[in-house]
Structure 1
């Protein structure tokens, strides 16, 4: 209860105490009556005195009745007790209200914290999504700046063998993350079709045509670019017996020779090599030397490509400078 309530209680107690004191003082100030005397001279006087004495005694008995102070105090305390009870009830209500307010504040605090956590999680996820998008965008940029390399060669050509083993393989090992390599084993061969049958006339004889078909099947069936180049590197080192060296090199790199052998001995191998010939004959300018290498479709600077392929690739690369450069 507030200060106004306490002051009111104290005023009421003071008033009641003053009333009580006043009552006690008023009763003690009343005169004490003497017992009446009897006069035998007259019966009338006697009767009058007797009647008066009776009245005085009754009045005196009333005036001199004992005052019950305890009762008065109890009666005075009743309004005070009532006020105290009301005050206690108010205090209890105030305590309950404070507890409820505290619980409400705690709940609000938890809700705010929960919202804050959710907001943080959403922001974190949003940042992660943005980073992912940036990463994907960066990868797209990397793909766009990758160089497309095509090697037009033939399997028994000494210059082709030298370029693949001494220039292509070392350069690819250093720059494979920015290269896309296509191998076209056809060279200066010619494709002939007669009575629905396709044959090839190769610069270094029939053995080379057979070897070209083996290489063509490897590049068609084995999808891993790094393995393609490794197997071709292995075969071209000793390519006089294409099927034998082909089996050895394919199995050495953990691939299935059976699928390659089936390709070579079927129309599939012939069809693939025919396609390689078409790619070679479409080159502009036309092939005059084997091997011929194109970088993003350009045959520019063939001399330096054959001498230092890695250096030319670094120079022609349009993306950020590669670490190996």
Structure 2
């Protein structure tokens, strides 16, 4: 009987363990169940019939039990409870994650993408500039290579440098000899030899410069109209820098220079230049100053001017007679460089 009671106690303990595991989260303490004490009942004077009745009831409880099956069921139940416990723990963790309790959530930024998108145009500009710089560097490199090749190909060869002759024409606008020289000698010779000539036109002639009370005036050989014409020519040579145009306009004006301002406007505009700048020069102190400078140049000539026009070649007045007759021939003869094709 005692052995039967012990077995019942073990079964009850197993059941309690199962209940304890199942309700571990809901209960903080376990109830205490004391097994019945049969010896106590006997000591209190229970009747033999009652004792027999109790023994019969206990014999019913002592029905045979399959211990292996009971252990297997207990193990299965415990395993199930463990799985369910794990599930509850995972759910609690998920709740904590959602609530942000004890979990450090690192925000996922799109800084790089936003930066790339925001700076897309700037990036394209940088790439474009870089490409242009590379192309420019490439072109510069190719240019240097070509220059080196040209230099290498020309190494050892003599480069022909054409010397030039400095020509100065001292004339006056209403002088017939000046007119003939400019139209018949200077213009044709310049057209043939302009690549070796530097021409300076000095329209002053045999005039005189007068200064009184700070005012400058001129006394010209052929009268005031010639002085006016000289100033027009002087302004043309000062403002228009192209020698070919200078000579062409002077050629045009000196053909009919009786009305310097009228013919001057016509000839200047004919050759594509603006008359306003020339006219402003003529009517201002600038024209007077330029013509005075032309006079200073003329008076400095050595020997002094005795005939107009006077022509100098590299500062020399030598051979004036032949110059007036065939200027081109004299230039070819006195040229120090290689023979010119037109000579």
Q: Please, what TM-score do these two structures have when normalized by structure 1?
A: 0.59
Instruction: Indicate whether 1:286 and 2:304 are aligned.
Output: yes
- The 3-state SS of whatever aligns with 1:204 is coil
Distance 1:258 1:284, change over 3 A: same
Distance 1:324 1:199, change over 3 A: same
After the TM superposition, which segments of 4 or more aligned residues of structure 1 sit over 4 Å from their partners? 120-125, 130-135
Question: What's the offset of the Cα at 1:156?
Answer: 0.1
Instruction: Indicate whether 1:239 and 2:261 are aligned.
Output: no
Whole-Å separation in 1 of the counterparts to 2:144 and 2:311: 52
Instruction: Indicate whether 1:177 and 2:199 are aligned.
Output: no
**Which deviations, in whole Å up to 9, do the C-alpha atoms of 1:45-95 show, x marking residues without a partner?**
xxxxxxxxxxxxxxxxxxxxxxxxxxxxxxxxxxxxxxxxxxxxxxxxxxx
**Which deviations, in whole Å up to 9, do the C-alpha atoms of 1:125-170 show, x marking residues without a partner?**
42323568999x947x32xx10000000000000000000000000
Distance 1:258 1:301, change over 3 A: same
Q: Which residue of structure 1 lines up, in the alignment, with residue 324 of structure 2?
A: 306
Distance 1:178 1:125, change over 3 A: closer
Q: Which residue of structure 2 lines up, in the alignment, with residue 32 of structure 1?
A: none
Unaligned runs of 5+ in 1: 1-119
Q: Which residue of structure 2 lines up, in the alignment, with residue 271 of structure 1?
A: 289
Instruction: Indicate whether 1:127 and 2:145 are aligned.
Output: no
Whole-Å separation in 1 of the counterparts to 2:159 and 2:270: 36
Question: What's the offset of the Cα at 1:314?
Answer: 0.3
Instruction: Indicate whether 1:225 and 2:243 are aligned.
Output: yes
- The 3-state SS of whatever aligns with 2:244 is helix
Between Structure 1 and Structure 2, how many residues are aligned?
202
Question: What's the offset of the Cα at 1:121?
Answer: 10
- The 3-state SS of whatever aligns with 1:163 is helix
- The 3-state SS of whatever aligns with 1:324 is coil
- The 3-state SS of whatever aligns with 2:234 is helix
- The 3-state SS of whatever aligns with 1:199 is strand
Whole-Å separation in 1 of the counterparts to 2:218 and 2:241: 26
Whole-Å separation in 2 of the counterparts to 1:194 and 1:130: 65
Whole-Å separation in 2 of the counterparts to 1:165 and 1:121: 46
Q: Which residue of structure 1 lines up, in the alignment, with residue 336 of structure 2?
A: 318
Q: Which residue of structure 2 lines up, in the alignment, with residue 206 of structure 1?
A: 224
Unaligned runs of 5+ in 2: 1-141
Question: What's the offset of the Cα at 1:123?
Answer: 7.3
